[in-house]
Amino acid sequence: MANVIVVGSQWGDEGKGKIVDWLSERADVIVRYQGGHNAGHTLVIDGVSYKLALLPSGLVRGKLSVIGNGVVVDPHHFVTEVEKLRAQGVEVTPEVLRIAENAPLILSLHRELDAIREDGSAGLKIGTTKRGIGPAYEDKVGRRAIRVIDLAEPESLRPKIERLLTHHNALRRGMGLAEISVDSIHNELTEVADKILPYVDQVWKILDDKRKAGARILFEGAQGALLDNDHGTYPFVTSSNTVAGQAAAGSGLGPTAIGYVLGITKAYTTRVGEGPFPCELDDAIGEHLSTVGREVGVNTGRSRRCGWFDAVLVKQTVRTSGITGIALTKLDVLDGLDEIKVCVAYELDGKRIDYLPASMDAQARVKPIYETLEGWKDTTAGARSWNELPAQAVKYVRYIEELIGTPVSMLSTSPERDDTILVTDPFQD
């Protein structure tokens, strides 16, 4: 079956943009199924850089692009991102872009709440992107969200906003914040409704029709599996499910339609925001990874924390997302290091374990157990065949495959799309 899910197998920022773009050319439909504009996907095509946050990457290739019900949609951001892409010459019309009518909206009150929680001294600082993602998902599961389709029914929009504000104004009173009026939210939504409604559709139906017609569907995951609300480093996670299983629920196409799960995996580890990071390096090597890897957030400009490759975590992700094969990225960032360490297990209270425990306290206590490999002096950057790689680099890749129990199906050796070594085409597997 020729449908592929792309997921980040670490904490996001694994280099999904390039791989998704590469696969988009082979796909007929590209689907976002979770998260929102907290994502940051960079595509470089013919030297031009496109930065996407909410819109599926397939748009840049002119492919049918779909925002599924599992995504939280900030309508104002949607309009801005569409305009930005158009200014770069990309055609964005309802022929090529659809939004699920049952997707929940992110409102200004969500953004405000996200920022207040992050900046305040009360509560736990997560290091969110402050885009309102968490508060919007809370309203979704709380059954009081305003959804995209509500914009098409202005007569019943007001009572829905009133119901939502009953909750939010109670919260705001408790926090000492000014209450929000129904009018302000109503205005905020009606001023943008006409710009988003032409794109609204029954996404589950389009996808099923496309599947039956033999189309190749690519599911574009955002963030990474370790930020999953159930399986990640809770509570230092995002508010959606980021594991591959969410592609089905977040799009309305059942799980039997999925053939291949590609886990995008960086040759070392990075993380943005707070939370446990057993292999984090606070030394010259960490600095090397950060500088050479240009580890700065696409959308937020925040520096990413860096560390050695953690095979325990990736192996866990391979299992929780049912990963078929990985695309290994940024191997060249390790070029020139004398030796390279790989975390093969953890020590927890004197015991060796081969998994990340669920307890927040235990996650903070685990210590990495490393194996050390010899580094390589020659460059791997731009290699397009295994023969062009130094022997030690091949050894490193093979060692990772062995540790995580899944093959490398693609090896990306630079941001350029053709600098890729293909072992298996996920669409042909």
Residues making contact with ligand IMP (CB under 6 A): 11-13, 38-40, 126-129, 131, 133-134, 222-223, 227, 238-239, 272-273
**DSSP single-letter state for residue 145:** -
Distance CA 219, CA 261 (A): 9
Comparing every residue's Cβ against ligand IMP, the nearest one is 273
The one catalytic residue in 37, 63, 140, 266 is 140
Smallest gap from Cβ 223 to ligand IMP, in A, equals 4
283 annotated binding-site participant: no
Q: How far is the CB of 83 from ligand IMP (least distance, A)?
A: 22
**If DSSP codes are grouped into helix, strand and coil, which group holds residue 126?**
coil
Please state the closest distance from residue 222 (CB atom) to ligand IMP, in A. Answer: 6
427, amino acid identity: F
The question of whether 76 is a catalytic residue gets the answer no
* 147 belongs to an annotated ligand binding site: no
166 is an annotated ligand-binding site residue: no
| Residue 100, number of CB atoms within 10 A of its CB | 30
Distance (Å, rounded) from C-alpha 338 to C-alpha 186? 60
Q: Helix or strand or coil: residue 310?
A: strand
- State the DSSP string of 173-195: HHHTPPP--HHHHHHHHHHHHHH
Tell me the residue type at 30.
Answer: I
In the complex, least distance from residue 156 CB atom to ligand IMP, rounded to whole angstroms: 29
Strands 408-412, 309-310: pairing is unpaired
Find out whether 372 and 341 touch, Cβ atoms under 8 Å.
yes
* Identity of the residue numbered 270: T
Phi, psi for residue 26 in degrees, rounded to 5? -90, -10
167 in catalytic set: no
Min dist. Cβ of residue 39 to ligand IMP (A) = 4
Closest CA to 103 of 158, 165, 148: 148
What is the rounded CA–CA span in Å between residue 227 and residue 222?
Answer: 10
Per the listing, tokens 């009150």 go with 109
Is 129 part of any known ligand binding site?
A: yes
Nearer to ligand IMP, 34 or 380 (CB): 34
CB of 185 to ligand IMP, least distance (A): 21
The three-state secondary structure class of 103 is coil
d(CA 326, CA 397): 11
Angle at 170 between CA 169 and CA 172, to 5 degrees: 60
Span between the terminal Cα atoms of the chain, in Å: 8
**160 catalytic per annotation:** no
Which amino acid is residue 420, in one-letter code?
A: T
Per the annotation, does 42 bind a ligand? Answer: yes
Contact residues for 399 (Cβ-Cβ < 8 A; gap 6+): 342, 371, 373
Question: For residue 289, how many other CB atoms are within 10 A of its CB?
Answer: 25
414 is in an annotated binding site: yes
Identify the H or E element spanning 360: helix 360-365
Nearer to ligand IMP, 266 or 341 (CB): 266
Catalytic residue (choose from 21, 37, 41, 341): 41
User: What's the CA gap between 391 and 413, in Å, rounded?
Assistant: 15
Q: What does the DSSP 8-state code read for residue 350?
A: T
| Residue list, annotated binding site for IMP | 13-16, 38-41, 129, 143, 223, 238, 302
Residues serving a catalytic function are: 13, 41, 140
